[in-house]
Chain A
């Protein structure tokens, strides 16, 4: 910069932003940053939630590559603005995916979709709508839950309450605590439920437990908000993973579902999401949509085209759709194998404690039960990076590193006191 400009700058005096404090980094990204800086050859990043192949590499689904090739060659496509509510072929296909083609909500025209910036965008849009336009002010989040849930609802101004979910003693679901907490929820409270592959624990309710949850939601006149970031990715089968959502709809419940296509389509950085909206009166849709459009207009105006077009192309084409289903089965199977492998290794080592939760839990994440101190030990000695909560990303486990990881867990549990 020229001397002149420097002098002019100096004349402006002290900054109005001198009070701005350094904000803490988002934990999971800080972890990845630390991992990247580490040069140890056996390092492993069990932090961020993205799928990895057995070679530890990211995986772009072959059907996605195929569709992108087709799109690039299709000169009838352009980059024009999408409608505020998104690409209609996409929202329609996405909503069908989570509700099922034969859903009474669809057949009775009671369900619509609204394209969003992945799951986060769907949560944020819905939270703003519920609080600012539909008079909801209390939200119940599972304890624990994805960190960004709390940030989103807090920012929008909700009174955030927790319902019991993770039971450390069993490393499973605290169903009794859950039911009790929801029974005590005030009427009209929004209840966030993870449709499958709970993040961060990997613990999902059984079908019987889902039925109980639906009952208490209905009885208490609570509003269901599903977070569905893993449809198809959890069990490898779409129908299995959407069972809870479909069940709630069959019980006559109105609900929102925030859908992400980051994991099940591997489209992480394209930000593909859908907010599926199920109401009991079709006449309400126009008003709800119009208000959401206004909210979206002040956030991003209209959503990004590329990823939505990919998903729409796949889901509306039987051949491509079948290919996609194979891919999600592949991903889910590999994760299951790694769970099994890790579990076997821990058993073989005689690692103290019970470890069947590793195979009982489902999806990308596992709440291992490791304490912050034990996690810290694993980082220092074994260069294995996991969240302080003991959450690990099973996708980052491979046949090459599972031994190393098992050893690390063994030593951590054997030698480091939890607290």
Chain B
């Protein structure tokens, strides 16, 4: 009893002392803010931090080449007509808002898998593929990451060097050992094939290998088909496990089948694999969080067991996924008219990016740059690894109000026919 009274009075005293103050030392006075004393300020997100700095700049010629969201030639977000039309159809159907199952909207899952693997392979009929709706690419990777940690706890994850900034935190958070395989050759601004093959050959059996199916983020450098064949062979021989990340199918080349080729090749070669898909970019559904996680298993029985375990992982994370974006995708996929419209719009986005790359390269030449800028058009997708050093990146920001991440990555989506020359001018100024 007396201990209780003592605790009570010291706690009450501490509370009054603590309000407004942040630092408390005695354990009995751990109240009011004391719980949060150990909470440090997290570092700003390197990618999102660029946009924040950009917003504060008042230079009318400023350019934001940070965030990877598509922009039209006027620099505006682009809502696909196929999406708007799909939403109107959905509205007219007056569907309910009942919980989806843990694995999400079945027709969406089927569409996502068909998109990735094609309808020719017979894979989907084999019963050994499970696709679960996920919270875009991030959510898909997180689910996969947790599955691997549970069932292959000693396997290290191999990411390409460099990789998307959020890959490492996702895997590390779950407790994985994260390693890398050589990928980007900064001398050629291209693919370090020899380095990649050597590192894959040296990876221990059972390692999980992260592969960007197309439009590698952040470099824009993709392996050739010959490179992919060689990687497939090594991965098979060394008994490594491929985990594909496909966030840009259709968005890279403008052609869904071309962009998914590596995945389909691996299937043909008999690999089991995991796949993360995002519909953020290719359908412009960023904020609706539409994605899928797929496991290609070795048998229908294994598939059932894996599926049941994925559900166990998902339930305490978010229970079941959001329906809106998934319904939009399903609606587009099942309507020939909307599907055709989507393909055109997606190709439009991919083409604009390819055009901007070409213009940037020629503008740099016109500015008088002597550097080799071939990689600007050799690379593919939303991002381009310019080869600019961190110091040059800082100058781009400070002298020219051009914002990009310090690894030299630019989002081509932020380039327009209006700002293209200005950008070339700035890039030349900092590199000459």
Contact = CB atoms under 8 A, between A and B. Distances in A.
Interface of A: 1-2, 4-13, 15-26, 29, 48, 50, 58, 60, 64-65, 68-69, 72, 78-82, 84, 117-118, 120-121, 124, 133-136, 148, 151-152, 155, 183, 187-188, 218-221, 223, 252, 254, 262, 266-271, 279-281, 283-284, 286-288, 290-291, 293-295, 297-307
Contact of B270 (A12, A26, A301): A12
A134 B320 contact: no
A9 B298 contact: yes
Contact of B309 (A20, A283, A297): A20
A69 B305 contact: no
B317 A306 contact: no
Contact of A60 (B33, B94, B102): B94
Q: Which 10 A-B pairs have the closest CB atoms?
A: A8-B270, A290-B42, A305-B287, A117-B318, A281-B33, A280-B32, A9-B270, A306-B324, A23-B308, A269-B323
B11 interface: yes
Contacts of B41: 286-287, 290
B74 interface: no
Contacts of A5: 121, 267-270
Interface in B1-39: 4, 7-8, 11, 15, 18-22, 27-28, 30-33, 35-36, 38-39
Contact of B11 (A24, A221, A305): A221
19 contacts: A23-B308, A26-B311, A29-B101, A78-B77, A118-B318, A124-B318, A135-B35, A155-B316, A219-B7, A254-B35, A266-B97, A270-B323, A290-B42, A293-B45, A297-B169, A298-B138, A298-B170, A299-B317, A300-B318
A79 B97 contact: no
Given A69-B91, A271-B322, A280 B309 contact: no
A271 B318 CA distance: 8
Given A16-B241, A25-B311, A121-B317, 11 more contacts: A19-B151, A22-B308, A29-B102, A58-B96, A65-B94, A72-B88, A135-B35, A152-B316, A267-B97, A270-B324, A293-B42
A222 to B, nearest CB: 11
B36 A288 contact: yes
A117 B135 contact: yes
A15 B299 contact: yes
Interface in B46-99: 48, 67, 69, 77, 79, 83-84, 87-88, 91, 94, 96-99
Given A300-B318, A306-B288, A20 B45 contact: no
B360 to A, nearest CB: 24
B89 to A, nearest CB: 10
A17 B298 contact: yes
A154 to B, nearest CB: 8
Nearest to A281: B33
A77 B259 CA distance: 30
A305 B67 CA distance: 18
A8 B325 contact: no
B418 interface: no
Interface residues of B, number: 97
B206 interface: yes
B187 interface: no
A79 B279 CA distance: 12
B123 interface: yes
B287 to A, nearest CB: 4
B272 interface: yes
B301 to A, nearest CB: 9
Contacts of A262: 99
B100 interface: yes
B295 to A, nearest CB: 9
Interface in B226-242: 236, 239, 241
Interface of B: 4, 7-8, 11, 15, 18-22, 27-28, 30-33, 35-36, 38-42, 44-45, 48, 67, 69, 77, 79, 83-84, 87-88, 91, 94, 96-102, 121-123, 126, 135-136, 138-139, 142, 151-152, 166, 169-170, 173, 206, 236, 239, 241, 267-272, 280, 284-289, 297-299, 302, 304-306, 308-309, 311-312, 315-325
Contacts of A304: 135, 287-289, 322, 324-325
B236 A12 contact: yes
B98 A79 contact: no
B142 A298 contact: yes
Contacts of A72: 84, 87-88, 91
Contacts of B312: 23
Name the residue in A48, A117, A136, A294 with the highest tally of chain B Cβ atoms < 10 Å from its Cβ. A117
A269 B322 contact: yes
Nearest to B83: A79
Nearest to A49: B99
Contacts of A288: 36, 39
Contacts of B121: 1, 5
A221 B151 CA distance: 39
Name the residue in A12, A64, A279 with the highest tally of chain B Cβ atoms < 10 Å from its Cβ. A12
A306 B323 CA distance: 9
A290 B39 CA distance: 9
Contacts of B269: 5, 8
B39 A68 contact: no
B35 A281 contact: no
A11 B269 CA distance: 10
A24 B309 CA distance: 9
Name the residue in B269, B298, B325 with the highest tally of chain A Cβ atoms < 10 Å from its Cβ. B298
B342 to A, nearest CB: 14
A287 B77 contact: no
A270 B21 contact: no
Given A17-B297, A133-B39, A268-B99, A300 B139 contact: yes
Contact of A1 (B123, B173, B206): B123
Contacts of B45: 84, 293, 297
A269 B21 contact: no
Contacts of B33: 254, 279-281, 283-284
A335 B141 CA distance: 41
A254 B315 CA distance: 28
Contacts of B324: 270, 304, 306-307
B94 to A, nearest CB: 7
B108 to A, nearest CB: 12
A79 B288 contact: yes
Given A15-B302, A81-B69, A288-B39, A270 B322 contact: yes
Contacts of A221: 7, 11, 28, 30-31
A17 B308 CA distance: 13
B98 A17 contact: no
Contacts of A80: 69, 77, 286-287
